[in-house]
Amino acid sequence: MILQGKRVGLPAAPVVHRQFEAHVAATPDALAVVCAGQRLTYAELDARANRFAHFLVGRGHGRGAKVGVCLDYSADLLVVILGTLKAGAAYVPLDPAYPAERLELLLGQIPDLALIVASPATAGLVDSASAEAVDLTRSAAELEAFPATAPDVSVTGDDLCYAVFTSGSTGTPKLTAVRHEGWFNLMNWLTLEYGLHRGSHNLVVSAFGFDLSQRSLMTPLFCGATQYLMTSRNFDALLAYRMLTEHGIRTVHCAASTLYLLVDWETARGGTALAGLDYVLFGGEPLKVERILDWARREGNTCTLLHQYGVAECTDVATSYDLAGYRPGEHEIAPVGRPAHNTGIHLLDEELRAVAPGEPGEICISGVSVGAGYLNGTGPESGKFTTIEVDGETRPLYRTGDRGYVTETGDLVVLGRTDAQVKVRGMRIDPADIERALGRLDGVREAAVVVADTGTGEAELVAFVVPSDDELAEDDLRARLLTKLPRNMIPSRCVSIARLPLSPHGKVDRKALVDSCRPKGKR
């Protein structure tokens, strides 16, 4: 089974920063970025990025180089990203929300790191690196001496633009590389498909290290709009909602769990800022659709909710679905829709043969969005990047490891990970199935299910449940689950908590939940 996105022609050189430069030429005085009172026009941002590009090229860090970026959200962050692209190099986000120990691990996974851009507030987080650290503030005088015009560097669609870390099944973080052509294709599709324009101002609400944040950062500059950045290192719902209210924000890209928090904030205060957006583009984790349905169907809500699916290895987004088409009676799981431009979705068996329509299979992605592979990968995970023959044409293919099927209407539904099933009491179980059943019970706002070690070597299922109102009785929850699930899928424990912990990326922090289950002294 294959779903093929619309074939759309791209420029001869589909290079991301060239689109930004076209807006610089057309609307130089338009506002490009706003952060903590600082405002830069397109012309001002371009000039500063050009100077940084010359700085890199002058040090021999041009085409093909990798530049680490450990900065809080600021205008300087966009200067560095654009300047790195203009130099022909690729940037690697080093999220300052991570602890220094985590960053030390990531730094050891970057081959041939040219240098790191940091600030006085973040330099201490990356001082373990052998690469030179550069502070834009301290280098201001040196940078001002460089030309404000773009350097003469040839960049192609096949060149790398960024590389982000993603969790590997081996336990070692994988550094997955994205090409200009794939990133250009993604933002070109978003612009054409959803009519993004110079008024499509954006607010970044996710952490810098998240793959989703890369398109959130660049898409408004790709379509000529204004980028708004929060100064908070971690997600701050109060600040985010205030900025939605006070500025002309039209789009937000976020993880599903971040959307729940924004919806809760608006619902509790009777606001309308979120409901009045043009688009919220969200994904990154299984959707608990019950958490947002009442808000989405509230009278006066004009926000289009785009439920999207993709992986970092394939430029972040592969499919999209307008949640207005979701019908609880028709869909047990909310679909993630149809492919982006120049993208194919293949449902394959273990031998990479197409499954029959409606049958589940491994979700594989083909087309220009398939990335350049793992820069630090020599193990079995690199084998996920392969090729497939379609109509006599060889296409790059990435095996996601996700399971799914295609509905009769041609929409993709993601069932979960092929490797997510765990053996508990001798039976294989997918915790996502239990989470969906819990989320449909009255009184349950949301739930997460993890597999914990009892301390005796035996695994057990533990459900963490956020009540809608009053605390839920554990025996009652388990009794009601027995009417929905077989006995072997019923969690041994159901723990009521005020809220699910989130990682810096805005997803449910399952490791924190597992750690909370461990016996004292074994954490």
Q: What are phi and psi of 116, to 5 degrees?
A: -125, 135
- Grade residue 423 by pLDDT with cuts at 50, 70 and 90: low
What pLDDT shows up at residue 12?
Answer: 95
Q: What pLDDT, in 10s, does the model give residues 147-166?
A: 999 999 999 999 999 999 98
DSSP designation for 319: E
The lowest-confidence range among 100-109, 384-393, 507-516 is 507-516
Residues of the chain with CATH 3.40.50.12780: 2-6+17-344
Read out DSSP for 423-478? EETTEEE-HHHHHHHHHTSTTEEEEEEEEEE-SSS-EEEEEEEEESSSPPPHHHHH
Question: 2-6+17-344 has which CATH code?
Answer: 3.40.50.12780
336: helix, strand or coil: coil
The lowest-confidence range among 226-230, 289-293, 364-368 is 289-293
Do residues 461 and 431 make contact, with C-beta atoms less than 8 angstroms apart? yes
Question: Distance (Å, rounded) from C-alpha 36 to C-alpha 41?
Answer: 15
Question: Distance (Å, rounded) from C-alpha 518 to C-alpha 454?
Answer: 7
Q: What pLDDT, in 10s, does the model give residues 88-120?
A: 999 999 999 888 888 998 999 999 999 999 999
What pLDDT shows up at residue 307?
Answer: 98
Does the pLDDT value for residue 449 go beyond 70? yes
Q: Which of 482-486, 497-501, 507-511 has the highest mean pLDDT?
A: 497-501
Q: What pLDDT, in 10s, does the model give residues 472-495?
A: 888 888 889 888 776 778 888 899
**Secondary structure of 320-332 in the HEC alphabet?**
EEEHHHCCCCCCC
What is the sign of the dihedral through the CA atoms of 208, 211, 214 and 220?
negative
Residues of the chain with CATH 3.30.300.30: 422-517
At the second CATH level, the architecture of 422-517 is 2-Layer Sandwich (3.30)
315: left (phi over 0), alpha (psi -120 to 50) or beta: left
Q: pTM to 2 decimals? A: 0.85
**Tokens found for residue 419:** 């490797």
- Grade residue 297 by pLDDT with cuts at 50, 70 and 90: very high
What pLDDT shows up at residue 41?
Answer: 98
Q: Which of 158, 225, 235 is nearest to 204 (CA)?
A: 235
Q: Where are the beta strands (DSSP E) in 274-334?
A: 279-283, 304-309, 319-322
Q: What percent of the chain has pLDDT over 90?
A: 67
Question: Distance (Å, rounded) from C-alpha 72 to C-alpha 207?
Answer: 9
Q: Where are the beta strands (DSSP E) in 285-371?
A: 304-309, 319-322, 338-339, 343-348, 361-367
Q: What pLDDT, in 10s, does the model give residues 176-188?
A: 999 999 999 999 9
Q: What pLDDT, in 10s, does the model give residues 23-44?
A: 999 999 999 999 998 999 999 9
Does the pLDDT value for residue 360 go beyond 70? yes
Residues of the chain with CATH 2.30.38.10: 345-417
Classify strands 393-406 and 385-390 as parallel, antiparallel or unpaired: antiparallel
What pLDDT shows up at residue 228?
Answer: 98
What pLDDT shows up at residue 134?
Answer: 94
Average pLDDT of the chain is 90
What pLDDT shows up at residue 232?
Answer: 85
Q: What percent of the chain has pLDDT over 70?
A: 94
Do residues 5 and 338 make contact, with C-beta atoms less than 8 angstroms apart? yes
Instruction: Kindly give, in sequence order, each residue whose CB lies less than 8 Å from that of residue 471, ignoring residues fewer than 6 positions away.
Output: 496
Which helix (H) or strand (E) element contains residue 4? strand 2-4
- More confidently predicted of 457 and 293: 293
Does the pLDDT value for residue 523 go beyond 70? no
Class of the domain covering 345-417? mainly beta
What is the average pLDDT across 410-418? 89
What is the average pLDDT across 423-428? 58
What pLDDT shows up at residue 169?
Answer: 46
Q: What are phi and psi of 25, to 5 degrees?
A: -70, -40
Q: Which of 219, 233, 237, 226 is nearest to 273 (CA)?
A: 237
Q: Where are the beta strands (DSSP E) in 12-167?
A: 31-35, 38-41, 66-69, 90-93, 113-118, 132-135, 160-166
Classify strands 279-283 and 2-4 as parallel, antiparallel or unpaired: unpaired
2: helix, strand or coil: strand
- Grade residue 316 by pLDDT with cuts at 50, 70 and 90: very high
Q: What is the number of alpha carbons within 13 Å of residue 378 lying toward its C-beta?
A: 3
What pLDDT shows up at residue 249?
Answer: 97
Burial class (CB within 10 angstroms; exposed 0-12, middle 13-18, buried 19+) of 304: middle
Does the pLDDT value for residue 309 go beyond 90? yes
